[in-house]
Structure 1
Amino acid sequence: MVGEAFSVTVGQARLAGWQAGEGLPVVFLHAGVCDKRMWESQMAAVAEEGWQAIAYDRRGYGETVSADEAFSHVDDLEAVLKALDIHAAVFVGCSMGGGLALDFALRHPGRVIGLVLIGTSVTGAPWSATDAESQIEAAEEDAFERGDLDMLNRVQAHEWLDGPRAQSGRVGGAVRALFMDMNAIALAKPALTLEERSPHAWTRMAEVGAPTLLLVGDEDFTALIDRHEHLSEEMPNAFAAVLEGVAHIPSIERPELVNSMLLEFLDAIEGGDDEENIDDTDD
């Protein structure tokens, strides 16, 4: 565990989180196949450099417990910020966590100091797949329809940790064990059927003016790499970089690389140099 544990009650849910450090807040939002543990290395690095690091498990993940009631992930995020007395923050999101950060930014632009989005979801974004990607998606659907959660977890580890075009098992050891554990917990949770979806954000990306660091792994899905390029052009204050040799969860696959880029971005924001250091070019 990084720092101190906290919990926030929203409706019939108890959202479980960690916080560490003091200073300007950085809120970490996990991917849909992970939980807050995917950010342990980043939280430790941020706290050590004088920022306040916060991460929590959304409903349906990790240590959070929730009934099947009407809810909104954006409302839950607002409740966490209120409980921790945070008005504005930098939001770091991967995949679905990035989509949540963007939904929050569109609702509360004045509360977003900056964004770091990794292989991000965007509400309402298009999706396409190559033949190789479609084959692994078909294997995922088959495991889901048969209710084989162990097989589903293995297929999703191939999809999201190794990358859909990479050899299954490309990423091993403790990193794979962590992914499998995080995702197994999520897969075993009872279904939440009453989520209130956010409005489509895909056509509104030009409205997100906060300084933004866009990252994507070159082993990720083709649609996410294409999305990354589109966002780098649409978002007015975005800097984009492609990470070589990693897939969808670089925070655990290449934590030192993600930490260094994150800290450089935070230093630019803290120094007030965002206009000079963050531009709309694509590496």
Structure 2
Amino acid sequence: MTTPATLSHDTSGGGPFDDGPSDDGTTLVLLHSSVCDRRMWDPQWAPLAGAGHRTVRCDFRGYGGTPAATAPHRDADDVRALLDTLGIGRAALVASSYGGRVALEFAARWPDRVTAMALLCPGMPGHGPGPELAAFDAREEALFEAGDLAAAVELNVATWLGPDAGEAVREKVRRMQRHAFEVQTAAEERWGEIGELPEPALDLSAITAPVLAVSGAHDLADFRTIAARLARLLPRARHLELPWAGHLPNLERPQETTALLTDFLRESAAQ
């Protein structure tokens, strides 16, 4: 197991971080989908800072500006190390897809460090893939084995973006996914296949922060099921399904999703 990495990241909001909310709003940490990297939050970056939030977004290992892992690790440990480095004691987590899985692990292991969570079409620790997700995984793996990264990228773009995503958004996701595939493939060629650490034993009911679990009506069934299940599992969670959304609503309808996030963060801060 490697030591926690210093993740490539951006900060905004002005001034040093401290152990609680800033004077002008909540500290936010944005965690990206495995289809993207931290650039997926471009549409929300300025509006969230403008709403008074001190904001951090980072790239997991093998995405964006963070090198690929060379030994087994846990992304939640890397996120904790980043927050410690930045002097952030507590923060709200805004997370998409795989980033939602990381957020749930983080909040279950260190619940006192999380003030709220907004989870967009999240993954979930311990979730076994259903038929749709298993079929996608098999198609993607076959393309990797054939060495056809371009087709694997197109499969991801077609699968994870809903009908409201325009061509500019599709191209943005295409670039992010292609970069991740190239970085991770090059690392595997150099270091060999990196195994995964077993998932830690987690008690999700330990999560005490308010949670908004969002699903998209055009998403795969797995993620719609997870969002609904979280509302039953977590003591302060609620589920919202967006009838227009696919898997990446913050890119498909940026303004609508940003308003949803800012409303939830304002409400949770008042609780």
Check whether TM > 0.5. Answer: yes
* Aligned 8 A contact 2:143 2:152 in 1: yes
| Paired-residue identity, % | 31
CA distance in 2, matches of 1:137, 1:158: 14
- Could you tell me how far apart the structure 2 residues matched to 1:39 and 1:182 are? 12
Write out per-residue CA displacement over residues 225-272 of structure 1, whole angstroms, 9 at most, x where no aligned residue: 1121111111110121101121111111111111011100111123x2
Which residue does the alignment assign to 1:199? 200
TM-score for both structures, normalised by structure 2: 0.86
Distance 2:147 2:200 in 1: 31
Q: Distance in 2 between matches of 1:245 and 1:129?
A: 23
Q: Is the 8 A contact 2:5 2:78 kept in 1?
A: no
Q: Label 1:67 to 1:142 Cα distance change in 2 as closer, same or farther (>3 A).
A: closer
**Residues 36-67 of structure 1 deviation map (CA, whole Å, 9 limit, x = unaligned):** 01111222111001111100111010011245
Question: 2:10 pairs with 18, 22, 27, which one?
Answer: 18
Q: Distance in 2 between matches of 1:123 and 1:266?
A: 24
Amino acid at match of 2:262: L
Partner of 2:17: none
With normalisation by structure 1, the TM-score equals 0.83
Separation (CA, whole Å) in 1 of partners of 2:249 and 2:140: 22
Map 1:189-228 onto structure 2 (within 5 A). 189=183, 190-191=187-188, 193-201=194-202, 204-228=203-227
RMSD (CA atoms):
2.1
Which segments of 5 or more consecutive residues in structure 2 lack a partner in the other structure?
A: 15-21
Shift of 1:135: 5.5
Unaligned regions of 5+ residues in structure 1, if any?
Answer: 1-9, 274-283
Match status 1:160 vs 2:160: yes
User: Using a 3 Å threshold, how does the CA distance of structure 1 residues 107 and 143 change in structure 2: closer, same or farther?
Assistant: same
Contact conserved, 2:7 with 2:58, CA < 8 A, in 1? yes
The CA deviation at 1:188 is: 0.7
Q: Tell me the residue number matched to 2:170.
A: 176
Tell me, in whole angstroms, the C-alpha distance in 2 between the residues paired with 1:179 and 1:259. 18
Residue type at the aligned position of 2:204? M
Q: Which moved more, 1:87-96 or 1:62-71?
A: 62-71
- Contact kept, 8 Å, 2:37 with 2:59, in 1: the verdict is yes
Tell me, yes or no, if the aligned pair for 1:129 and 1:221 is still in contact at 8 Å: no
Q: How does 1:103-252 map to 2 (within 5 A)?
A: 103-130=105-132, 136-162=136-162, 171-189=165-183, 190-191=187-188, 193-201=194-202, 204-252=203-251
Aligned to 1:75: 77
Q: Which residue identity is paired with 1:219?
A: H
Question: Mapping of 1:84-103 within 5 angstroms?
Answer: 84-103=86-105
CA separation of 1:155/1:262 partners in 2, compared to 1, >3 Å: closer, same or farther? same
The CA deviation at 1:127 is 2.1
Q: Which residue of 1 aligns with 2:259?
A: 260
Identify the match of residue 56 of structure 2 among 54, 57, 62.
54
Q: Please give the alpha-carbon distance, in whole angstroms, between the structure 2 residues aligned to 1:185 and 1:230.
A: 33
Shift in Å at residue 205 of structure 1? 2.8
Does the CA-based 8 Å contact 1:12-1:67 persist in structure 2? no
**Amino acid in the other structure paired with 2:79:** L
* Matched length: 253
Compare relative contact order (CA 8 Å, sep 6+) and give the higher one, 1 or 2: 2
SS at 2:161's partner residue? helix
